Amino acid sequence: MDVDRKGSPSIMLPSADTRTAPGETASNTALVRDLAAIVGSENVCSTTAERMVYESDGFTMARRRPAAVVHPASTAEVQAIVRLAASRGIPFVARGAGTGLSGGAMAPPGGIIISLTRMRRILDIDLRNRRLTAEAGVVNLKVTQAVAAHGLHYAPDPSSQSACTLGGNVAENAGGPHTLKYGVTVNHLLGLKMVLPCGELLDIPGETEDNPGYDLPGLITGSEGTLGIVTEVTVRLTPLPQKTWTALAVFETITDATRCVSSIIAAGIIPAALELMDANVIQAVEAAFHFGLPLDAQAVLIIELDGLEAGLDELGARVRGICESHAVRELRIARDEAERTALWMCRKKAVGSLGRLAPSHCTQDCVIPRSALPEVLEKIGQIARDFDLRIANVFHAGDGNLHPIVLYDDRDEEQVQRVLECNAAIVRACVEAGGTITGEHGVGVEKLEFMPLIFSDADLATMDRVRAAFDAQGLCNPGKLLPGGGGCADLVLNKKAAV
Amino acid sequence: MTQPRKRRDDQTALARLTDELVECIHCGLCLEACPTYVELNREEDSPRGRIYLMRSVAEGRAALDGSMLHHLDVCLGCRACETACPSDVKYGLLLEHTRTHIEEAAHRPVWQRLGRRLLMEVFTHSATMALAMFFATLPSRLLRNPPSAPGGIVSRIMGAHGDGGNLRLERFPSPRPSRLQRLTPAAGGKKLRVGLLEGCVMPVLFPEVNMATVRVLSKLGCEVVVPSGQGCCGALHVHNGYGRQAARMALRNMAVFEAAQCDVIVVNSAGCGSTMKEYAGLFPEGSPEREQAAAFSAKVRDVSEVVAALLEQTELKPVEMTVTYHDACHLAHGQKIRSEPRRMLSAIPGLQLVDLPESDHCCGSAGVYSFTQPDMAVRLLKRKVTNIESTGAEVVATGNPGCQMWIRSGLKLEGSSVRALHPIEIVDLALDGATTSGDSPSRH
């Protein structure tokens, strides 16, 4: 695979496929007919309009129209579809709700999308053993809703949890604000069923912990759909905390807020969540939800502690003390569950509310050591000025997981190019500070060019071999995650595609 | 944004909306709020997918072909996505302009075009509608069957499949709409002078709701004027792509209510109220009509807004009844009114208000949708009826005649004993009004 491992500032933005290529119609008709034989014609999208809406997921800078979209209702149907694709040499990718932020669910060239949104049944709830088995298309939040009455919840809570699916969560090893204390998807995945790229079924039961042999769920989680199609998962259910203490801390400067974050962690306190929103985000969120956030503050922290009732208020007092030592302007503690929910809605829908500030945005996702927060954020501010772009920051401060969000107008090609370069500069700054290129959004197509920044040729070659062990033909979500992986290094660079 | 936005030359209804269309940032948080997505699980039947289609047409990237038309037609226009959207995308507005563009530019078979126009004419003139309902129910009357109107025939003319759109009615409608008296004085001291929209469907199918509204308002100290010369609010027109006619209707109502000199204009139909609060959008920016419309809209209230406030100082008779409340889309999503109707009902002693699961999920009625898309309409109706039954309530209250008619029909179809009433009918009972007989409890 001949890929520029130095990481050119360009990202591949394929667009050629958004037009109907000559000859596409004839081969498509045959493909659609054969897919329809498996799932029924009403479950295959074949018209231009129907295929068009699947051009991108939540990452809209790269788009490619799939040759067809097929909606299976069972693992057996997924197997049949994958076998068909494998026999024809047609690349494929699984897609859930399409909320991913790195283009992971974009169709490969000439490929089909296998949409799992019809597979939305919760199959089994085992309260005694605190585990739940569900199809991959089940929406994350529905799991918690199904067991909340029993005092349990599903801990990974990505901000898109009201829409995103469990299958996508596994593919991206999704996190969320509360992963600071509770861990990410991989820590809550007990078993799974995955259709291998040849059509065979891998079935790892979730009945016992610590299976012998290779930790396949561990390997598959975060593999971004390159090793197969997960169709069913068994997840761990976590008891709801006895008590929760949620506070909003208001700071005059981002530096005060980030230093406060470091001090809280350094004091040995593990908050359930520790989130930061900067002035741009405060503006958008306040316009959307009217929580009463201070519009003149430079940063707010949402600090959540949870656990046993005994001792929680004392811990809260310690946190207050730390905040005060970092010049906190105001510390407002949520009085009740309603206020807590309202505050979390501000945080969880923050990225969405940025549509109020600009027509398009591109969310970055890098992780840095917490101690480097103050200087990296200053650097990002400088980068924004250098590229004459507006950047909003809303992120999981407790893990050092940054989400600088670049605001722009995707109808302006010159601006799109600047955004791409600005993104690259941010990623480099994070890597230079000892960080890494993605925390939870995945590599997808967005971060491909940056993989060589953190992995050596030998690292990447090893990953290529792992991938090949699962997918010898290179048909399963090629062109994602690994720069040279899957026989698909020929993705074209096309800046115009970001329309 | 600091950058100037590029404009297209082509000034179709849709192309003018490009700036609004790009406000969607493709986050997907609307998906699970959308009733058609929850049923069909497909991107092209979701708000995000539809906005993508609208944008591709507006930007000239795609043709408005049959497939695209189908997926845009499947949209209920319930605006649940607006409630879910963190970016404040005005989906309802986008859809209205898209539908205007469709009626101007897309190719529909002639009979469908005619059928659509006919539906508009029938449902927006109460005299015509009363006659149409009379003749539609004639076969069941002659056959001594329970009253029903064969909506399925209309659906088939419209090119839909399935015949689920048949309406099961409470009683045979009168061939003439029943009108309200023009002026009802306030009982006791007059607090407000209220103008009431009589509506098109209400006088034909739910005259008792209009009468209850007048009684309640009057007892709470409102002088109620029903100005003559008022007409259809234009909601069905604006929702189905006939924006120009809707603007004419708006102008007429604005003039009539202006002349009547009311403090507020009360509407007891969620769909009408929502449209009347958004009249300004029917007129070009900067036009004097737009300003007049904004002033008019500022006076429009849903009946629950006015009554909930006035009820606070009123003594009410107990009404022993278990009630659940269905949020009409154009109240909850269109007007952001959720608490007032519930507060109104909770104020009644003896009344037990129980939560309805998915209370703000569209019932499928959605204007003329139950005729144009009967399959989806019936799927949503069955879901709604199942949810209503699960509450154990005797009555489901809802503030929109379309929902009331459709849910009532669905309850009958499923053999349920739950009654569908307008909340104001229940308040009327608590104020010792005449019996709300539209839906007699001793049904079989």
Enumerate domains of chain B plus CATH numbers: 15-105 (1.10.1060.10), 110-168 (no CATH), 183-305 (3.40.50), 315-430 (3.40.50.10700)
What does the CA dihedral B61, B63, B66, B67 come to, rounded to 10 degrees?
Answer: -10
DSSP B146: P
What pLDDT, on the 0 to 100 scale, is given for residue B434?
54
| Amino acid symbol at A288 | A
Q: ipTM score here?
A: 0.89
Residue at token pair 């490929």:
A111
Please determine, for residue A469, whether its predicted confidence score (pLDDT) is greater than 90: yes
The token duo for A313 is 């208020």
Rounded CA separation A312/A318 (Å): 10
Asked which of A69-73, A338-342, B6-10 is least confident by mean pLDDT, the reply is B6-10
Q: What percent of chain A lies above the pLDDT cut of 70? A: 92
Smallest CA–CA separation between B118 and chain A, in Å? Answer: 29
Rounded CA separation A256/A397 (Å): 13
- Mean pLDDT over A348-361 rounds to 86
Q: pLDDT, tens digit, for every residue of B85-97? A: 988 899 999 999 9
Taking the mean position of all CA atoms in its chain, how far away is CA B279? 15
Rounded CA separation A370/A174 (Å): 20
Rounded CA separation A117/A70 (Å): 10
The SS3 of residue B53 is helix
CB contact under 8 A, B22 and A53: no
Query: In chain A, which residues fall in CATH 3.30.43.10?
Result: 16-118
Chain B environment of A96 (Cβ under 8 Å): none
- Mean pLDDT over B397-412 rounds to 95
What pLDDT, on the 0 to 100 scale, is given for residue B162?
59
Query: In chain A, which residues fall in CATH 3.30.465.10?
Result: 122-239
- Please tell me chain B's helix, strand, coil percentages from 3-state DSSP, rounded to the nearest 5: 50, 10, 40
CATH classification of A358-432 is 3.30.70.2740, yes or no? Answer: yes
Rounded to the nearest 10 degrees, the angle between the axes of helix B207-219 and helix B303-311 is: 40
The SS3 of residue A447 is coil
- Mean pLDDT over B257-275 rounds to 97
pLDDT band at B12 (very low <50, low <70, confident <90, very high): low
More confident residue, B161 or B229: B229
pLDDT band at B392 (very low <50, low <70, confident <90, very high): very high
Range 254-313 of A in CB contact (< 8 A) with B? 287-288
What pLDDT, on the 0 to 100 scale, is given for residue A1?
34
Buried b (16+ CB within 10 A) or exposed e, A78-97: bbbbbebbbeeebbbbbbbb
- Look over chain A and give the mean of its residue pLDDT values, rounded to a whole number: 90
Please determine, for residue A299, whether its predicted confidence score (pLDDT) is greater than 60: yes
More confident residue, B221 or B111: B221
DSSP B307: H
Is A385 touching B (CB cutoff 8 A)?
Answer: no
What pLDDT, on the 0 to 100 scale, is given for residue A408?
92
CATH classification of A243-352 is 3.30.70.2190, yes or no? Answer: yes
Residue of A nearest to B46 (CA): A53
DSSP A474: S
Residue at token pair 């199959």:
A123
User: For domain A16-118, which CATH number applies: 3.40.50.620, 3.20.20.70, 3.30.43.10, 3.90.600.10?
Assistant: 3.30.43.10
Range 10-39 of A in CB contact (< 8 A) with B? 18
Query: In chain A, which residues fall in CATH 3.30.70.2190?
Result: 243-352
CB contact under 8 A, A139 and B25: no
pLDDT band at A8 (very low <50, low <70, confident <90, very high): very low
- Mean pLDDT over A448-467 rounds to 95
- Mean pLDDT over B278-298 rounds to 95
What pLDDT, on the 0 to 100 scale, is given for residue A491?
37
Query: In chain A, which residues fall in CATH 3.30.70.2740?
Result: 358-432
Residue at token pair 């600005």:
A422
Smallest CA–CA separation between B270 and chain A, in Å? Answer: 24
- Mean pLDDT over A400-425 rounds to 92
Is A408 touching B (CB cutoff 8 A)?
Answer: yes
Chain A environment of B20 (Cβ under 8 Å): none
Chain A environment of B26 (Cβ under 8 Å): 56-58, 60
CB contact under 8 A, A361 and B25: yes
Q: pLDDT, tens digit, for every residue of A89-134? A: 999 999 999 999 999 999 999 999 999 999 999 999 999 999 999 9
Rounded CA separation A64/A31 (Å): 18
- Mean pLDDT over B48-75 rounds to 93
Rounded CA separation A277/A294 (Å): 11
Is A441 touching B (CB cutoff 8 A)?
Answer: no
Please determine, for residue A220, whether its predicted confidence score (pLDDT) is greater than 50: yes
φ/ψ of B298, rounded to 5, equals: -60, -20
What pLDDT, on the 0 to 100 scale, is given for residue A422?
95
What number does CATH give the domain A122-239? Answer: 3.30.465.10
Q: Are B101 and B69 in contact (CB under 8 A)?
A: no
Please determine, for residue A22, whether its predicted confidence score (pLDDT) is greater than 80: no
Q: What percent of chain B lies above the pLDDT cut of 90? A: 66
Please tell me the number of Cα atoms within 13 Å of A19 on its side-chain side: 7
Please determine, for residue B441, whether its predicted confidence score (pLDDT) is greater than 80: no
